[in-house]
Each structure stands twice: as C-alpha cells, then as structure tokens.
Structure 1
Amino acid sequence: MTTMLVTGGTGTLGRHVVARLGELGHDVRVLSRHSAAYPVDLRDGSGLDAAVAGVDVVVHCASTRTGGDEQAASNLVAAAKRAGVGHLVLISIVGVDRVPLGYYATKLRVEKIIEGSGIGWTVLRTTQFHDLVFTILHGAAKLPLMPVASGVRIQPVETAEVSARLAALAARAPAGRVADMGGPEVHTLRELAQLYLRATGRRRVLVPLWVPGRTFRALQRGLNLAPDQAVGKRTFEDFLRERARTAGPGTSVR
C-alpha cells in the first residue's frame, strides 16, 4: 500500500483527491490547517516533519491568494527531502507562464521550486474549475447591472475530473510536466453569465466591461485556454444542473 499525503486536503480540489486516492486503496493523509490528524500551516512548517514521515507521494493542492505559497512550497520540499519522499505532484494553472497576473506568477515560481527540488516530480496545469467560475459569476450578479469582461474566454473544467487525473498521476512514476487539462467547452464570459442567470432564475443586464492592461489583453488572446487539450467531459451547464438537483426541490442553485 502506498502512503500519500494531500496538502489542502479539505479544500475544493483536495477533498476530491483524498476521496479518489482512498477509493484506489492508498493510505491517505490529509494535511491542512484544519485537519484533525495533521494540522499544519505550511507557511511556518510546524508539524510538517511528523506529517510527511513515512510518506511515499505528496500531492500538493494547498494554495492561498493571500500570500505565502512560495514559502509553503519551500517548507514542503525541505520536509519531503528529509523524509525521503519519492514523488511530488503539483496542481497548477494553464497560462501561468503567459498571463501576467500576480497569482499566476506565484504559481509559476512554485512550479520552479518543485522542479528544482531534487525529488521526482509531476506538474499538471488545468483551466479554471467550474466552482471558481460559478463564484465569480455569483459575485458579479449581486449588482443589478452585471459586469462582463469583453472578449474574455474561459474553458471551465470539472473538479472531480481533475482529481481523478491527479490521483492517477500520483500512482505512477514521476512524469515531469504532463499535458495540460482543459474543460470540454470554451465560452465567452458573457455566455457563461447567460448560463448562470438562466440556471439561477435571475434577471440582470449584462454590461460589457473593457479593462485596460496586459492581464486582460492576455486573457482576450486566450492565453488561459487549452483548446487542444479539451479532455474534460462535464460542461458548465452540466455543473449548474447538478448543483440545482442537489439543492433539492424549491431551493435555488445559488
């Protein structure tokens, strides 16, 4: 039996990875600040050595937009080397090397830390998760005039499908940078907003928003997309239908 540790194992992606690895028969440790067994804050590294002791593979899903990802990755690599971990698997984002966004630049530096660790590594880049797209649209729809960035396209992918891919990669030998993983469809942000409004029963006026700057020019050029790797199966519309179904009769998809 292989012992695997999943950082961020209680998060949106991490909990799916934990479940999938368990289904495959692996011994799985869940590491997060709120984990019952392995409560570790990767940014200071306290408790990390105990968490990685005896671990064969680390799947690194932990991330935050409030800073500290590079330090967290460095602490994780150092502890993994001390413990003799043989394989580091990292989830990253399509376009981190092409879209000049601060968070993307951080993710790219984390990739470099993993690649230079001296440990066998695998990096998977994916397009945006359905959950993230939903959250963005939900926030924008709080206004009666719903702003929609002009010319921006997104290729949403299903979190559970990404977790299955990560779990499969974790069970194999280190593979380096593997093929990107994209969702099945590329939509304009306006199209996604229309799907969201239809599913939630809301009425909003969609207002085209032109945002100056290099980041939005990169998004308008589609540098966040992986159209040649549209391997996902579940569409954003499927995601919305499932969200409505699980919400139950008489309740909102919101």
Structure 2
Amino acid sequence: MTAKILVTGGTGTLGREVLPLLRATGADVRVLSRTERPSDGGVEFVAGDLLRGTGIDAAVAGVGTILHLAGDAKGDDVATANLLRAATAAGVGHIVYISVTAAELLPMTYFRAKFAAEQAIAESGIPWTTLRAAQFHDFVPKLVDTMLKSPVLPVLGGVRLQPVHVREVAARLAELTLGAPAGRVPDLVGPEVIGMRELIRDYLALLGKRRALLTVRVPGKAGRVYRAGGNLVTDGADVGELTWADYLAEHRGAVLAG
C-alpha cells in the first residue's frame, strides 16, 4: 500500500472525482476540509483552513504525498505557502499541484496566484509534480447560471477556450499522485477550440432559454493574449477525448431530471 495521501480541496468538483480513483487503488487517503466531517468510504477527514493556516500541521502529519487541489478566485499563493511550510516540516516526499494553462501569461488575480503557487512549489525543496489543465467544461455553464436573471449576457470578444472534462483531469491527477515526482508535466487540454459565444449559445439552447448576447472587448494585456490565442496550448499538450457535445449530453440528463 502506498504512503498516506493528503488531498486538499477533496470536497470540490475535481476532488470528488479524484477521491474514488485513489481509493480504488487501495491508497490511504486523508482530506483537508474546512469543516469537521466523519470518515466516509475509508477516507479520513481533518479540519483545517489553508488561508488562515489552521489545522495544517495535523493534516500533513504522517503524509507521504500531497495532492493540492484547493483553490479559489484568489489566495492560491497564500494557501500554498502555508501548506508548503507545514509539508516541509513534516518531511512530505511529494506534492502534486493542479494549475491552469497560460498561468504566466494572463494578468488576472486567479492566474497570477496560480503561477505564484507553481513557483513556490518548484522552489520549496519538496519533490513535486505540476499539471496545468484547461478550463473544465462546466466553466461557462457556471458563469451563465449566475447571470440568467439578466436579459442580456456579456460575451468576451476574441476569447477561445479548450475545455476539458473534469473526469479526464481527475484520472491524470490520480496517476501522477501515485507516481514519482515528475516536475512540470505536459498540459492537459480538451480536444477542440471553441469560442465563448458558441459555448454560451449552446448552453442556453440546452436550457431552452434565449438571451441577447453582447460582445465585450477584453482590455489590456489579457485581451491581447486572448485575441492572439496565447491562452491556447497547441504543442506538446496531452489532449482529452471527451468533447463539449459529450459534456452537454451528460448535462442534458441532469437538466431534464431537475
């Protein structure tokens, strides 16, 4: 059996997909959660908060590998720094981190924090593996859901994405977590490049809703990167198989059931 694995963000979208894969291999898994939870399905839960720096020492005690999935719109760099301090003191042997494609190119809080966390991990002295993944298929649906009360939805002009299925990212992360430290591995992207307008239009059609779409120009450096396709990874990436249409077909069942 492998050494104990600590998963941060284990109750999130990606974590819920990764945990069963790790448990299926017989791995001894612990999850860092913001709230107290009973053990579930052989998974141990430990309460702690990465941003506040609380409960982390207990969470990393006796751990051989950390799969660091916890993240938010901001603060990834702070949370990662707190985790690394505790992991170094505990003698953790491997940390696996999920980042985002084009992390160093886009001057936005989320991307900057992801890139800062990448650098901190690489410089920590702990053997490491970092996987950058493109946005998940549910990125645009979640965005649209927050704006459905409006009759007009903004569309970021010139923005194209390579959406990837969360299950494929989870499978790759499980593989990396159970393997040896590998440094920066090839990015994982979806099998197609799709514009924001098409993604929004398709999702609205799935919901059976109509909204006016207003193109909004992305200003500054971020706009230049997107319009040039700098956020897209065309060389050297691993490419998933599940398409946007596959995701919509799965989601259609959930919408009809609801």
TM-score scaled by structure 1? 0.92
| 1:220 has 2:221 as partner | no
Per mean C-alpha deviation after superposition, the further-off stretch among 55-64 and 210-219 is 210-219
Per mean C-alpha deviation after superposition, the further-off stretch among 172-181 and 94-103 is 94-103
Report the Cα distance in structure 2 between the residues aligned to 1:196 and 1:209, rounded to whole angstroms. 19
The question of whether the paired residues in 2 share the 8 Å contact of 1:5 and 1:30 is answered with yes
Matches within 5 A, 1:59-78: 59-65=67-73, 67-78=74-85
- The 1:230–1:170 alpha-carbon spacing in structure 2 relative to 1, beyond 3 Å, is closer
Aligned partner of 1:12 in structure 2 is: 13
Number of aligned positions between the proteins: 249
The question of whether the paired residues in 2 share the 8 Å contact of 1:140 and 1:147 is answered with no
Q: Specify the code of the residue in structure 1 equivalent to 2:25.
A: L
The question of whether the paired residues in 2 share the 8 Å contact of 1:18 and 1:30 is answered with no
Report the Cα distance in structure 1 between the residues aligned to 2:145 and 2:113, rounded to whole angstroms. 26
* Identity value in percent: 48
SS at match of 2:146: helix
Q: Specify the code of the residue in structure 2 equivalent to 1:17.
A: V
Q: Specify the code of the residue in structure 2 equivalent to 1:153.
A: R
| 1:31 has 2:32 as partner | yes
Aligned partner of 1:182 in structure 2 is: 189
The question of whether the paired residues in 1 share the 8 Å contact of 2:140 and 2:200 is answered with no
User: Where does the alignment leave 5 or more consecutive residues of structure 2 unmatched?
Assistant: 38-44
- The 1:170–1:236 alpha-carbon spacing in structure 2 relative to 1, beyond 3 Å, is same
Aligned partner of 1:53 in structure 2 is: 61
Report the Cα distance in structure 2 between the residues aligned to 1:97 and 1:227, rounded to whole angstroms. 16
Q: Deviations over 1:185-218 (max 9, x none)?
A: 1101111112112111111222222232221221
- The 1:26–1:222 alpha-carbon spacing in structure 2 relative to 1, beyond 3 Å, is same
Aligned partner of 1:89 in structure 2 is: 96
The question of whether the paired residues in 1 share the 8 Å contact of 2:97 and 2:129 is answered with yes
Q: Deviations over 1:58-116 (max 9, x none)?
A: 00001122x43222212211111222211000000000111111211111111111001
Report the Cα distance in structure 2 between the residues aligned to 1:103 and 1:80, rounded to whole angstroms. 23
Stretches of 4+ aligned residues off by more than 4 angstroms: none
Q: Specify the code of the residue in structure 1 equivalent to 2:17.
A: H
User: Where does the alignment leave 5 or more consecutive residues of structure 1 unmatched?
Assistant: none
Aligned partner of 2:41 in structure 1 is: none
| 1:120 has 2:127 as partner | yes
The question of whether the paired residues in 1 share the 8 Å contact of 2:98 and 2:132 is answered with yes
Q: Specify the code of the residue in structure 1 equivalent to 2:123.
A: G
Q: Deviations over 1:163-188 (max 9, x none)?
A: 11011011111000000010111101
Report the Cα distance in structure 2 between the residues aligned to 1:204 and 1:230, rounded to whole angstroms. 35
The question of whether the paired residues in 1 share the 8 Å contact of 2:10 and 2:31 is answered with yes
User: Aligned Cα RMSD in Å?
Assistant: 1.6
Report the Cα distance in structure 2 between the residues aligned to 1:88 and 1:211, rounded to whole angstroms. 35
Report the Cα distance in structure 1 between the residues aligned to 2:143 and 2:224, rounded to whole angstroms. 19
Cα drift, residue 241 of structure 1: 1.6
